[in-house]
Structure 1
Amino acid sequence: MTNQKPYRPNVGIALFNADGRVLIGHRFKGDGPEIILPGLDWQMPQGGVDEGENLRDAAMRELWEETSVTSAEYLGETDWFTYEFPPYDGPQTHRLAKFRGQRQKWFALRFTGREDEIDPLTPRNDQPAEFDAWRWENLDRVADLVVPFRREVYRAVAEQFAPFAR
C-alpha cells in the first residue's frame, strides 16, 4: 500500500560563513514525525512554506525564526528534493502527521553579519526554539550528523553547494 499523504512544502538553508563552513543547529527535542536520535541531532535550518509565500522569502523567514540571522546574501538554490518521515505512532492531530514527509528546495546564503547576531534560543513569530546550540561545520560532514531519513537529501545538497564551501 502506498502512502497517499502529501509532502509538506519546505525550504532548507545552507548558510555559509566567510570560511565556507555552514551553520548547523543542535535540535534538543523531536517534533512529532521529525524525530531526533542521540548523536544525530544536528541539522541546517529548515521549515515550512506558508500558503502563497515566495520560496526565497520563506527561506529568509525560516532562517530568522530559527537563528535570528537577517544578514545573508543569496548565492543559489537547488531543485526540489523529498524525504519520507519515519513511521509515526503519535497523535494524528500533530501538525506534521498529515504529511508523508517533506518536499524541499534548498537555498545557499552567505552570512554577512557578526556572530553575535546568531541566537537560536529566543522564540520569534510565536515559534518555539528548535535549536539549543549552533556551530559552523564543513558542508561535507553535515550528512553524518543528521537523522538517517534526511541523509540522502543532505548529501545531494552538499554536492550541489560544494562550490560555495571553498
Structure 2
Amino acid sequence: MRSARGSQARKDLPYRSCVGVMLINKDGLIFIGRRRSESDAASDGYSWQMPQGGIDPGEEPYQAALRELYEETSVRSVSLMAEAPEWYAYDLPSMVAGRAWRGRYRGQNQKWFAFRFEGSDSEINIHQPGGGGHRPEFDEWRWEEMHRLPELIIPFKRPVYEKVVTAFAPLVSEQLHSTAHP
C-alpha cells in the first residue's frame, strides 16, 4: 500500500521543463557524451546521451538549448536545423525520483533542437566547458550514428530518444546529400 501512495504522489508532481540538443556534424553523425556521474558504474552501456538541461526562469527554449550546448561542450559554431514538433516527456523511475531535483519533479518535459555543427572538433571541450563554474557533464565524447542513439541511452529515456530520432532523421539524410553534392 505504501508504494502505491508514493507512486500516486509522484504522479501528482510536475515535470521539469528542459531542452535537448542533437548536434549533427558534416558527416551526419551525432555528438554524444558519456555522463561523468555514471562512468564509474558497471559498464551497462547506457551512460551516453546528447546535451540537455533545464530551462531557466524567463528563458526561451531555443536560448536554453544554445546555453546548455555551450555549458556542456563549449560549442558555439552552430546553426539551427529544426525544432522538434512537440514536447517529449519521460518519468523518472522510482529508485531515482526521490533523489533527482530533491524530489520536486516526476520527470522531464523536453523541447528538442537539431543544430548543424559548423566548427571543427577542436572547438569541443567537455573538460572545461563554457558557461563558467559548471561541473563538467561528460568525461568522454564521440560522434555516433543517429540510429544507434536509443540503444545507448538509459532505458527510461529511450522512448524520448526514439521520438527525437524519428523527428530529426530526415535532417541527416539532407545533411549527407548536401555535403555529397555541393
TM-score (norm 2): 0.82
Cα RMSD of the aligned pairs, angstroms, is 2.0
Q: Which residue of the partner structure matches residue 151 of structure 1?
A: 158
Contact 1:29 1:36 in 2 (8 A): no
- The 4+ residue runs of structure 1 with deviation greater than 4 A are 89-92
State the aligned residue count.
Answer: 161
Q: How far did 1:128 drift?
A: 0.8
Q: Does 1:84 align with 2:125?
A: no
- Which residue identity does 2:157 align to in structure 1? R
- Which residue identity does 1:27 align to in structure 2? R
Q: What are structure 2's unaligned runs of at least 5 residues?
A: 1-7, 174-182
Q: Which residue of the partner structure matches residue 170 of structure 2?
A: 163
Q: Does 1:7 align with 2:12?
A: no
Q: Compared with structure 1, are the counterparts of its residues 147 and 64 closer, same or farther at alpha carbon in structure 2 (3 Å cutoff)?
A: same
Counterpart CA distance in 2 for 1:15 and 1:36 is 27
TM-score (norm 1): 0.90
Q: Which residue of the partner structure matches residue 132 of structure 1?
A: 139
Contact 1:11 1:105 in 2 (8 A): yes
Q: How far did 1:89 drift?
A: 6.1
The 5-angstrom pairing of residues 104-115 of structure 1 reads 104-115=110-121
Q: How far did 1:142 drift?
A: 0.6
Q: Which residue of the partner structure matches residue 35 of structure 2?
A: 27
**Secondary structure, in 3 states, of the residue corresponding to 2:95?**
coil
Q: Which residue of the partner structure matches residue 98 of structure 1?
A: 104
Structure showing the higher strand proportion among its residues: 1
Structure showing the higher helix proportion among its residues: 2
Instruction: Answer with 1 or 2: which has the greater Rg.
Output: 2
The partner residue of 1:120 within 110, 126, 134 is 126
Deviations 1:47-84 (A, max 9, x none): 00001101111000000000000000001111100001
Q: Compared with structure 1, are the counterparts of its residues 117 and 38 closer, same or farther at alpha carbon in structure 2 (3 Å cutoff)?
A: same
77-86 vs 115-124, which moves further: 115-124
Counterpart CA distance in 2 for 1:77 and 1:132 is 27
Counterpart CA distance in 1 for 2:51 and 2:97 is 24
